[in-house]
Amino acid sequence: MLCMDSIFKFMCTRSCLDRIDELKKNFSDSKKWETAVRAEYSQQVIIANWGNRRSYTVNDVDFTHSPTTMTFTF
């Protein structure tokens, strides 16, 4: 997924997972890391880099589930 800044309409080419991994390297405490990830993505618009490139608004990040066990609901 691509990140998009809704004010300036700036798109970065890094994936959200790359940014989350980068944040994880910066925080040794998992609670601080989770807070940083939530601050980074809450209420942000991301664009899927597959299919018809739909945009999604992130309401919250759920750290209790895995992408292999959860699916998006539309």
Residues 31-60 pLDDT 10s: 999 999 999 999 888 888 777 778 888 999
Q: Answer yes or no: is 66 within a domain.
A: no
More confident of the two residues 23 and 14: 23
Q: Are 16 and 3 in contact (CB under 8 A)?
A: yes
- Per-residue model confidence (pLDDT) at position 5: 54
pTM: 0.71
Q: Answer yes or no: is 65 within a domain.
A: no
Q: Answer yes or no: is 27 within a domain.
A: yes
Q: Classify 70 as helix, strand or coil.
A: coil
pLDDT band at 24 (very low <50, low <70, confident <90, very high): very high
Taking 90 as the threshold, does the pLDDT of residue 22 lie above it?
A: yes
Q: Answer yes or no: is 19 within a domain.
A: yes
Q: Rounded to an integer, what distance in angstroms lies between the CA atom of residue 1 and that of residue 47?
A: 6
Q: Answer yes or no: is 34 within a domain.
A: yes
Q: What is the domain range of residue 36? A: 2-57
Q: Answer yes or no: is 70 within a domain.
A: no
